[in-house]
Amino acid sequence: MAEDVKPTRKNLMEIEDRIDLSERGHDTLEQKRDGLIMEFMDILDQAQDVREELEGDYDLAQETINKARAMEGDVAVRGAAAALKEHPEITTQSKNIMGVVVPQIESSKVRKDLDERGYGLLGSSARIDEAADAYEELLESIILAAEVETAMKKMLEEIETTKRRVNALEFKLLPELHENKEFIDQKLEEQEREEIFRLKKIKAKKEREEEAEAAEEREAAAKAESEPLEAGVAETDD
């Protein structure tokens, strides 16, 4: 409340400093928000492409595994899957996008040559190889989708946080500071007018007193001048 602020020049200077700092912070946050939105839109476009690719890879993987099961049987497919000795490895790092830390997922041993899959060249068929290729492709798409989706979520959270800060400055803090400044300005102007009025009254009173003193001095001087004349007249009459 503006009424809770003491109307002093010190408080006025402090509020003006806070207004200046808040306005600069507001401008900086607005620029950050706009930059984050632009980055988010780029990631959103990428996410849409990744989702479409993921859906296509999933459909292809399902199609090839169904063919392998139909042609080779579940036992052969499960045996080929169980023969895998080196599983994919996932490592995560981080990167900074306009102050937002997002994950960067690195994968290794996802793509394998035929002799690295464990089931051997003679113990498989073209259908199983095709299914393995399709699922390796699907796994890479899943890893990329996880990275992009997580980055998009973190960017969206930061955008919402920044928007709340911008709105808090624009619609709450700055209006309150300007209201307090206006209140202090008004009170200081009233105090200044009252002080001027008081000084004018003091000056007028002083002038009246000076005029009264001057009048008394003039009266005393006139009286002093008339006394010798009266004394001379009295002597002449004697």
- Reported confidence tier of residue 6, pLDDT bands at 50, 70, 90: confident
pTM: 0.70
- Please indicate, yes or no, if residue 188 is contained in any of the structural domains: no
- What is the pLDDT confidence band of residue 22, given thresholds at 50, 70 and 90? very high
d(CA 212, CA 226): 21
Assign residue 149 the CATH number of its domain.
Answer: 1.10.287.3240
pLDDT at 104: 86
Q: Is residue 199 assigned to a domain?
A: no
Helix (H, G, I), strand (E, B) or coil at 160: helix
How would residue 65 be classed by pLDDT, with cut points 50, 70 and 90? very high
In a domain, 124, yes or no: yes
What is the pLDDT, as a whole number, of residue 209? 87
pLDDT of residue 31: 94
Q: What's the mean pLDDT when you consider all of the chain?
A: 86
pLDDT, tens digit, 9 for 90 and up, residues 23-58: 999 999 999 999 999 999 999 999 999 999 999 999
Number of domains in the chain: 1
Residue 189 lies in a domain: no
Has residue 234 been placed in a domain?
no
pLDDT confidence bin for 82, thresholds 50/70/90: confident
- pLDDT value for 1: 56
Instruction: Pull the structure tokens for residue 187.
Output: 């009170």
pLDDT attached to residue 80: 80
> Residue 83 pLDDT > 90, yes or no?
no
Inter-CA distances, 86 with 117, 119, 131, 166, Å: 8, 12, 17, 50
Residue 204 in domain: no
Question: Containing domain of residue 156, as a range?
Answer: 8-173
Check residues 171 and 126 and name the one with the higher pLDDT.
Answer: 171
pLDDT in tens, 164-208: 999 999 999 999 999 999 999 999 999 889 989 999 999 988 988
Spatial separation of the C-alpha atoms in residues 63 and 133, rounded to whole Å: 12
**In this structure, is residue 205 part of a structural domain?**
no
Domain membership of residue 136 (yes or no) is yes
Q: What is the pLDDT of residue 230?
A: 56
C-alpha span between 136 and 140 (Å, rounded): 6
